[in-house]
Amino acid sequence: MTRIVIIGGGPAGYEAALVAVQLGADVTVIERDGIGGASVLTDCVPSKTFIASAGAMTSVRDSAVLGLRGTDLATVGLDLAAVNQRIKGLAVAQSADIHARLESEGVAIIAGHARLSDEVRGLAAHRVEVLDADGAVAQELEGDVVLIATGADPRVLPGAEPDGERILSWRDVYDLDEMPEHLVVVGSGVTGAEFASGYLEAGVPVTLVSSRDQVLPGEDADAAAVVEEVFQSRGGRIAERGRAEKVIRTEKGVRVELTDGRVVEGSHALMTVGTVPNTDGLNLEACGVDVTKAGHIVVDRVSRTTVPGIYAAGDVTGVFQLASVAAMQGRIAMWHALGEAVAPIRLKTVAANVFTHPEIATVGVQEESLTEGADVEVIRLPLATNARAKMGDLRDGFIKLYARRSTDVVIGGVVVAPGASELILPIALAVTKGLTAGDLAQTFAIYPSLSGSITEAGRRLMGIEDEHS
Ligand SMILES: Cc1cc2nc3c(=O)[nH]c(=O)nc-3n(C[C@H](O)[C@H](O)[C@H](O)COP(=O)(O)OP(=O)(O)OC[C@H]3O[C@@H](n4cnc5c(N)ncnc54)[C@H](O)[C@@H]3O)c2cc1C
Ligand SMILES: NC(=O)c1ccc[n+]([C@@H]2O[C@H](COP(=O)([O-])OP(=O)(O)OC[C@H]3O[C@@H](n4cnc5c(N)ncnc54)[C@H](O)[C@@H]3O)[C@@H](O)[C@H]2O)c1
């Protein structure tokens, strides 16, 4: 029986474990905090649960236009204690569900901090030590295959170290007793944009410190512009091209000092300036596992590291930091290690979503990567012309579809809309399976529905192709 040792119980680790036991391996997962990982306990699940409450509040506030009346509509608020309790309860319950599922499938789970401990390089099997809370070796294991799935932690900006009270990392916010009076969010990547949008929806004045010309530098520029516009129209402030140098506690709150001399004051600062991979103390160098300059473990498309028998998956590899990608990398590692037929990961088919208001969902080829004269046709349909959107008073957003001019094959898309995370699937399916704009055009969409704009975009693309032929 192949012995598999998995370090880290997040999506990369636990999904890998499920595949490996299914294939008859002897599987052990070592996790220092809780099964489900940061994804379930502190990052993805809690933030989306908070955004669900904040979004509900905005829906109530915005409902007057739909004819709802009530004296409290405009002043509806969140009960922070109840919201936080719900968030933490949901995270713990989900962690317990996954823990129970792993155990019921026969996966052994060890609580502790693990590290590689191969004494010489080139051995067929690898050794792993488990440390207890005092750092003493509590257990030693041997694995024919080891998967490193240790995730990433928030990056700390020197001079702006979180104190858990006023200067916060995104993992601290669920312990606040009161809503911030004025939140300064430092960093406008996906994490910063989501929290800035969420807190604003929850009724908190927010200033977003964005080191770039536009928030969400990695996203479609049109989509980022819509989110930025909506954020500002709802009263959010953006300190453009502002790079925080340090954050100082003041008598009443915080002072965020920018490198260009500007100062942003608020009651709390939320630091969202990226992540660092969890590789410290894993003994990677001694074992011959290569890392990049940024510290991510180098892997190929079937999750192999530079050492035979040692695989890595998830945020620790820096490949698209998404729970879905982490899980797929973990599964691919196990299929490969256990001799199953496996296709290398295809990053061009990864669907991703930014949970702002409105949401931004993307898949496949994006405009920024297109070279001039590329064999690609783009269509963009504004949400405002969609009948269902009008019924719900949804004005901000669009659907964008990219297809190869020569073959009509759909190669990418963007959806900016409330619930874009649900609407992207038909486009993701088209990109994954090589479907054409014609295939989308001939698919029945519900009338009226937002997804009707996706089939409409398919029809428009067919029209464009005809004009060119
Ligand atoms: C605020 C926020 C919101 C996000 N929202 C989304 C989202 O909506 N959708 C999405 O797809 N992605 C989202 N992500 C990204 C997603 O959370 C990560 O991509 C995902 O957690 C990666 O999974 P992982 O298994 O690699 O790592 P993790 O989930 O970080 O799990 C790694 C685990 O390994 C453990 N560990 C580390 N070192 C050791 C060790 N030496 N020994 C034992 N255990 C160890 C850690 O305690 C941790 O539990 C979000 C990220 C952030 C920061
Ligand atoms: N919905 C989702 O799927 C989701 C949600 C959150 C995070 N994530 C993933 O987690 C990963 C980490 O996201 P993130 O947003 O935390 O990191 P990030 O690295 O994507 O963004 C951090 C931003 O902070 C800026 N920054 C850095 N130093 C700064 C400073 N001193 N002052 C001002 N700005 C500064 C950077 O320029 C960058 O734009 C990403 O890969 C992201 O995709 C995914």
What pLDDT score does 469 carry?
A: 46
* Same domain (yes/no): 112, 30: yes
* Same domain (yes/no): 149, 281: yes
What pLDDT score does 73 carry?
A: 77
* Same domain (yes/no): 299, 401: no
Residue whose CB lies within 8 A of the most ligand 1 atoms, among 50, 150, 185, for a mutation test: 150
Last residue of one domain, picked from the residues 347, 375, 407? 347
* Same domain (yes/no): 127, 39: yes
What pLDDT score does 411 carry?
A: 97
Residue 403: which CATH number? 3.30.390.30
How far, in Å, from the CA of 61 to the mean position of ligand 1? 34
Residue 113 β-bridge partners: 131
Residue 176 lies in a domain: yes
Residue 352 lies in a domain: no
* Same domain (yes/no): 19, 76: yes
Residue 468 lies in a domain: no
Range of the structural domain that residue 381 is part of = 358-462
Residue nearest atom 21 of ligand 2, based on CA coordinates: 189
* Same domain (yes/no): 200, 106: no
* Same domain (yes/no): 95, 7: yes
What pLDDT score does 464 carry?
A: 63
- Let me know: does 416 contact 396? Beta carbons within 8 Å: yes
Q: Where does ligand 2 bind, in terms of residues with CB under 6 Å?
A: 157, 186-192, 194, 209, 211-212, 217, 243-244, 272-275, 321-322, 352-355
What pLDDT score does 462 carry?
A: 87
Residue 292 lies in a domain: yes
3-state secondary structure 26-60: EEEEEECCCCCHHHHHCCHHHHHHHHHHHHHHHHH
* Same domain (yes/no): 216, 137: no
Residue with tokens 């899980």: 327
Low-confidence stretches of the chain (pLDDT beneath 70): 463-469
How far, in Å, from the CA of 401 to the mean position of ligand 2? 26
Largest interatomic CA distance in the chain: 73
How far, in Å, from the CA of 110 to the mean position of ligand 1? 18
Residue 444 lies in a domain: yes
Q: Report whether residue 8 contacts ligand 1, using a CB cutoff of 6 Å.
A: yes
Residue 48 known to bind ligand: yes
* Same domain (yes/no): 85, 183: no
* Same domain (yes/no): 19, 138: yes
Residue 189 known to bind ligand: yes
* pLDDT tens sequence across 377-398: 999 999 999 999 999 999 999 9
Residue 467 lies in a domain: no
Pairing mode of beta strands 254-258, 263-266 = antiparallel
How far, in Å, from the CA of 13 to the mean position of ligand 1? 10
Residue 327: which CATH number? 3.50.50.60
Residue nearest atom 12 of ligand 1, based on CA coordinates: 322
Residue nearest atom 14 of ligand 2, based on CA coordinates: 274
Residue 92 β-bridge partners: none
Task: Tell me phi and psi for residue 239, to 5 degrees.
Answer: -95, 95
Q: Report whether residue 278 contacts ligand 1, using a CB cutoff of 6 Å.
A: yes
Q: Report whether residue 11 contacts ligand 1, using a CB cutoff of 6 Å.
A: yes
Last residue of one domain, picked from the residues 324, 347, 370? 347
Ligand nearest to the CA of 111: 1
Domain count, the chain: 3
* Same domain (yes/no): 285, 413: no
Residue 242 known to bind ligand: no
* Same domain (yes/no): 185, 53: no
What pLDDT score does 40 carry?
A: 98
Residue 224 lies in a domain: yes
Last residue of one domain, picked from the residues 241, 273, 305? 273
Residue 320 lies in a domain: yes
What pLDDT score does 463 carry?
A: 67
Ligand nearest to the CA of 146: 1
Residue nearest atom 5 of ligand 1, based on CA coordinates: 44
Q: Residue length, the chain?
A: 469
Residue 191 known to bind ligand: yes
Ligand nearest to the CA of 238: 2
